[in-house]
Structure 1
Amino acid sequence: MDIDWGALAGVFGVSLGITVVVVVMFALGLAAWARAGHEEPAPDVSRGRHQKVAVVTAVLCFAACLAVAAYGIDLIVPG
């Protein structure tokens, strides 16, 4: 049995990188969702365009996380 250490390191590096990207995107989505006022509303926060931009940012971040997860499942499950 021969192990291709270069390929193993490549798979490890890509997996680690994608994991970090997904965690950061999810954290940014949560921060944008909170900024949009979907938790407790702050008394000094004005509503309007900033709220819409924050909601769109949160949805895009969550959609990116979902897309990565769906692609990973597609790779694993034979079809």
Structure 2
Amino acid sequence: MKIDWAALGSVFGVSLVATVALVGLFTLGVVGLSKRESAAQQGNSATAVTSGAYLCFALCAAAVAYGIFLIVA
């Protein structure tokens, strides 16, 4: 049995980058939701912060759905 180390390395690299990006997006969404009240107290638009947080969560859901699509197809 031969192992294609280059293919294994590329799969590892892509999965590492995708994981870091997905966790980063989710973290931005959580931070955006936590900053909603402080933005409202400062007089800034809380809807922009909330919309940004929901956009991050939607991108996370889209990435997960695409991953499931790749597995099933």
Q: Same fold (TM over 0.5)?
A: yes
Q: Report the TM-score range of the alignment, normalised by the length of the smaller protein.
A: 0.7 to 0.9
- TM-score (norm: length of structure 2): 0.88
Moved over 2 A (4+): none
Q: Which residue of 2 aligns with 1:65?
A: 60
Distance 1:20 1:48 in 2: 30
- Residue from 28, 41, 44 that aligns with 1:45: 41
Distance 2:51 2:23 in 1: 18
Identical-pair percentage = 44
Q: Please report the RMSD computed on the Cα atoms of aligned residues, expressed in angstroms.
A: 1.7
Alignment of 1:2-41 (within 5 A): 2-37=2-37
Distance 2:7 2:43 in 1: 51
Greater RCO (CA < 8 Å, at least 6 residues apart): 1
- TM-score (norm: length of structure 1): 0.82
**Greater fraction of residues in helix:** 2
Identify unmatched segments of 5+ residues in structure 2.
none
> Between Structure 1 and Structure 2, how many residues are aligned?
72
Distance 1:19 1:47 in 2: 35
